[in-house]
Structure 1
């Protein structure tokens, strides 16, 4: 896991002896050099003598807090470039935002999950090393002769590719962990409700039967009971209560389906390819995006029209393909939102604002085709060839990173597939995805068509 960064030095700032021991042994066992400081003051003092590659910083400590310590580290020119990961049990958004504003790169939550600690430390060590290499390459570029431009472009492309791969892995890992966690949390209360519905049915039936039995043998109860029966509308309740329980049962089935779809979507961390149902991936992605398809203050609901062919299962990394579906469908929704904001949606179109998803199987070529079409603002002809470029975006600041379609093309190429775009300004955009049914993946995850 720590290939290329084995000799890195980690400074752990933590006042709890048990936590110190856990983190120290965990990092030392994978070959990293570990330094310990028990509070913020001693950490700052230690940084005067040694500059580690990464700092793991506890938030709650005696003396100055982790936040103040981070502030002082980032104020010092000699230490401000060292990445800081907070270690904390404070999982609320406000504290996370405060940490990121102070310059932290990540959070590790307590109690520690060993795999999570190692994964995040490994990621940021590699990102730090990559940043240093990129800076070094940029310095070299300034001194290169014009005759070496071709070689410079090749190296720059290689670095960007490595960087985008790391961004893709972290983005998909974070998204997968988030969705998997939500799905897990939904599953537990669903199971509780499901397990209690059958006894609730039985209890309700027994109580209703008991009251009816009393009515049969004691048709003229005392006035207080008669009034209570009238006030509680017993006949209506006896008829409606079982229907209410059945509606609860239907609700739990719907939640179970949603939970399963979320788990399907977040299959992003598998190390080996597997067979995959493309339609299941598309449907789970649409479910994740369902809130964005619904009506809002700016526009009516977006209609999704499915035209599915009978497709074979394909060999792939499902989580990566789900990310492709997410990027393309999210862009289609953005285009429709923008069309309504500009008043350019075709009101005369009977379909209104819509996304059409079509799948086809080309048996002769053993290829699966997926077409995703919207009737949004479209893409200007002048920039259509640039939309897959690294860091290129037409969205406003804060709305787009320029990574979505670049990552999408990279994933498609990784699966020996292709992605094509056709767009007419003010009429809409069509993305066509082509994937081989069978692909042989090498041990290093490179692929060859079989």
Structure 2
């Protein structure tokens, strides 16, 4: 099924209800001439049974009928969930304001006075049927979108399970590869071959890349499935940065400014996010450009922003919406030297697991800025960590 398959009936069904045979015959002929498929009933009980067997598109209902009047019929229809959407238009020869008010109170959509005016009947039916068709189309669209989303989630779940199995299976050959590299290094200590040294270093670099890919993939999956909950606490942002700085391949390029804040985060996860963002910035920056990490108070209360900024070549605006997607590579990373495409996906999943958010801004030729928003640690929230040497939160960014 697609949105193009959603169709509405070309000849709407009208249920006409009146206990007077002549009135019913006149009304049926009028409706037939207007192009409607007419079903006629002479009592309220018959109308209810007919409606329950096959719901019409709209009901024209006389008020004054014996045994069960129009008000009672309308109330029963409105109180039946499967029928409540059907518009009910009351018919009556009495021009009585109280009757009209009661008709609307019991659930009627409109009121037509007898004797019938053909143009009025056509206009009122047309309006209410158009409204109901619009609602029905919206209901079908919502159902279609829900079914499409359900199928997509099922496909995504199956794909993720298969990918997890495949990635898990890479662990064993990776371990074998690392063992062989270690053997080569040990042997080379005795031989002293430059060629063996080059081979072992190349093999180790490849192993690091594959191992990082496996770790990132499994961790993104765990965080998204809440199997890896973030252990948040009040942490000194400077301590987190120092740990990240030590793990960065080119630490001289990364400088810190104004990190004297305490933030509610998982220190290990946050450090890894900073490593990923800094390494990503280094790959896109010139060797003499600084990668600046700093923090500032956000406009909203008790939120801290951690910024990682570079002055590199920037990111194409068309790619920014997809930058945090798993396995996505930008147009500048098609030479085979790109990383796994999971680093920024990991960053997003990890920050969201800590009740935070991450966004990116970039200007081509001027650089890129990643902004992490996390809860600021407040006085009394984590008393064991706060109190001594705490940054002055009144300072502005």
**TM-score for the superposition, normalised by structure 1:** 0.34
**TM-score for the superposition, normalised by structure 2:** 0.38
The structure that has the greater radius of gyration is: 2
